[in-house]
Structure 1
Amino acid sequence: MRRKRVLILSEGFGAGHTQAAQALSVSLKKLSPDVQTRVLELGSFLHPTVAPWIFGAYRKTVINQPRLYGFMYRYQYKKSLNRFTQLALHRLFYAQTAEVIRQLKPDTIVCTHPFPNVVISRLKRSGLSVPLCTVITDYDAHGTWVSNEVNKYLVSTPDVKEKLLNHGVPADHIEVTGIPVHPSFWESHDKEQLRRQFGLQAMPTVLVMGGGWGLVHTEGFIEYLTRYRDRIQMIFCLGSNEKALADLSANPQFRHPNIRLLGFTKEVDKLMEVSDLLITKPGGMTCTEGLAKGIPMLFYKPIPGQEEENLQYFTEHGFGEQIRSTETIDYWFQYLLERYPEVQKRRAMLAEKWRQYRPAECSQAIMELMGEKYPVGP
């Protein structure tokens, strides 16, 4: 009997979309070993020379002109991609994507970014009969996600479902599953063993993420944290931002036994588990991973648009707080130092809230779209 095939398409505009795609790939195979998956960042796969230039321009716009990005996000909020963008996607992707689908013969296609979602939707209008499942990777529903050709939307919360309904999406095309995270975030680890692995002390620990998107460029803020380095352990996770890693490594304030500087790592789940507080930009994927680990979060400088919506959701539900000044840092760091047992109770409470999302539900919904039935776990 032929194994079921799932093609998962993402795009390289930030790591979260592809992280969600990879998480789905792993969890689908965990749910059913008979499933074959293929994850592609469509632009990078089809146009490896052009794509980095486009992604670099996007990143510079987000970092250097966030107000412009926010204006465009709000201006287009109730609209699909404009005709110029659709034409560009048509010329860049449609014929080659159709050939990829012809070769791979997927039983369903999953998109975790609006661009491949537009491409596949157009192919479906031209006769492609493969079911299309769209996973929205934020706590908002921008109009660029919306297409009549999508067979099933998997969304983070009932609020996002309501927003899709307001966009005209039929209710039976929407399922609230939560954003998929890698199965490693479902699992618990021995903290003492993790401390030995990373060379950490058994003391209050703060994980700082977001270096690739400008967090460390605000030197006054990032250096302010080091005032606590004698009493609080800090892990700075800088991702692929090699310049930021080199700059902080050369800064005497970050040369301290209680400070760890890390580049790209696939062990964020372990770093979150061994930490007591997460400081991050409110990206949908990172926040969901933090929620899965039950770690309290402080949110730094949201990008206007979807990160503002993510911030609103997580602060309103008590999962974290926005950093408005150094007073926010002082309050939470003193909280760690003076009321550490309460921090552990808070983590247990957050982890309990996470369990309502049932982390395998996204994968189960995709299997059901292909006609496979799997019971939803507790």
Structure 2
Amino acid sequence: MSRIVIVSARFGAGHDRAAYELANRLSAHDVEVLDFLDLLPPALGSRLCRLYRRQLQTAPRSWEWTLRALDGGAAAGLTSRAATMACGRLRRALGDRTDLAVSTYPLATHALAHLRVRGALTAPLATYLTDPAVHRICVAGAADLHIAPNHLAQQQARSHGATAAVVAAPLVATAFRPAAPHERLEARRTFGLPPAGRLALVTAGSWGVGQVQRTAHDVARSGVATPVVACGSNTALRDRLRAEGLAHVFGWVDDMPGLMRAVDIVVQNAGGLTSSEALAAGLPVLTYRCLPGHGRANAAVLDRLGLARWVHDLADLPAALASSDRPPASAQPAEDPVPLLEKLLDLA
């Protein structure tokens, strides 16, 4: 049995959900999932996580400036060196019997690549790119394989120096699937939602960041759909929206596949794994009031691919909410990433 180590990070939930879905699919092997933040010097990882979350909540435009700064060669080198602060603990966690290392988080990719270059990691290294758009810091030349969720991401990865980049389907749990007619009504009953009428799920990831409040009210005022808001762990946002009179506001939702089976369309702002889950559930997806930085980059790629319409103006929102257009199956890659990784194991 091969030992596979997957390194993720608890920045939001997208990196972790991809890592654990991959671990589930690789269950025939001995798989361990590590959190990059726990490999940093004591307390540093938690502080970085809190800082990033506060940045998105209070000064989201500064994140876009940060990503622009990191697009330069010198800044990217600084990022790579910062990742090496985790290398000591990471090397010990890898041990002497790791047959394949996989990263779902950029700094983890650079830390593993650093070990690979120094000879401290002899196993193959693969990077799973969780976002539709690929920033320079997501790519490490020492990685044997970069797995991209679409062909534009593949091209971007190659332009940033990926020596081998392939396309595979996003890592979405099988529970995300189109709802049968009777399941939709049953799901609406379960979540206390209206049995009739068009419902739009407004979601902003596990942290509930961005202009969620304005988006929810824009959807309500459109007269086209009733907003169903998933606030994630942002309890302050949940309480505020409920106090403002919105009827269908949830905090953390354990059964997101079930909630998606209850609605007709998804309105999101970051373009990450939530978009892939909604598409797997057979729902049309809109990007609206998207987050600066990675949110806008993802929105542009999804819109260009025809996977999720980017609604730039409030005036365009009602027509977009009324649309039931879904991307053709051919617009999304179908290949499972697992055989690609197992091929690396065979070559090891």
TM-score range, shorter chain: 0.7 to 0.9
1:248 CA displacement: 1.9
Runs of at least 5 residues in structure 1 that lack an aligned partner in the other structure: 337-342, 373-378
Q: 1:55 to 1:140 in 2, by over 3 A?
A: same
Q: 1:48 to 1:25 in 2, by over 3 A?
A: farther
Deviation per CA, 1:303-335, whole angstroms, max 9, x where unpaired? 3333222111222233332333332233244x3
2:15 paired with 1:22:
no
Structure-1-length-normalised TM-score? 0.81
2:331 paired with 1:362:
no
Runs of at least 5 residues in structure 2 that lack an aligned partner in the other structure: none
2:238 paired with 1:245:
yes
- What letter is aligned with 2:2? K
Q: 1:140 to 1:53 in 2, by over 3 A?
A: same
Select the residue among 261, 265, 278 that pairs with 1:290: 278
Identity of aligned residues (%): 23
Q: Is the 8 A contact 2:287 2:308 kept in 1?
A: yes
Structure 2 Cα separation of the partners of residues 187 and 221 of structure 1? 25
Structure 2 Cα separation of the partners of residues 109 and 75 of structure 1? 29
Structure 2 Cα separation of the partners of residues 162 and 332 of structure 1? 29
Q: How do 1:1-378 and structure 2 match up within 5 A?
A: 3-29=1-27, 34-44=28-38, 49-77=43-71, 79=73, 82-90=76-84, 92-102=85-95, 105-127=97-119, 128-170=121-163, 173-186=164-177, 188=179, 190-200=183-193, 201-210=195-204, 212-216=208-212, 219-227=213-221, 232-251=225-244, 253-254=245-246, 259-333=247-321, 335=322, 343=324, 346-347=325-326, 350=327, 352-353=329-330, 356-358=332-334, 361-371=336-346
Count of residues in correspondence between the two structures: 341
Structure-2-length-normalised TM-score? 0.87
RMSD: 2.6
More helix by share: 1
Structure 1 Cα separation of the partners of residues 42 and 185 of structure 2? 43
Deviation per CA, 1:62-99, whole angstroms, max 9, x where unpaired? 34333332233233325375454444433x31111111
Give the secondary-structure state (helix, strand or coil) at the position aligned to 2:266.
strand
1:187 CA displacement: 6.7
Q: Greater Rg, structure 1 or structure 2?
A: 1
Structure 2 Cα separation of the partners of residues 183 and 47 of structure 1? 36
- What letter is aligned with 2:101? I
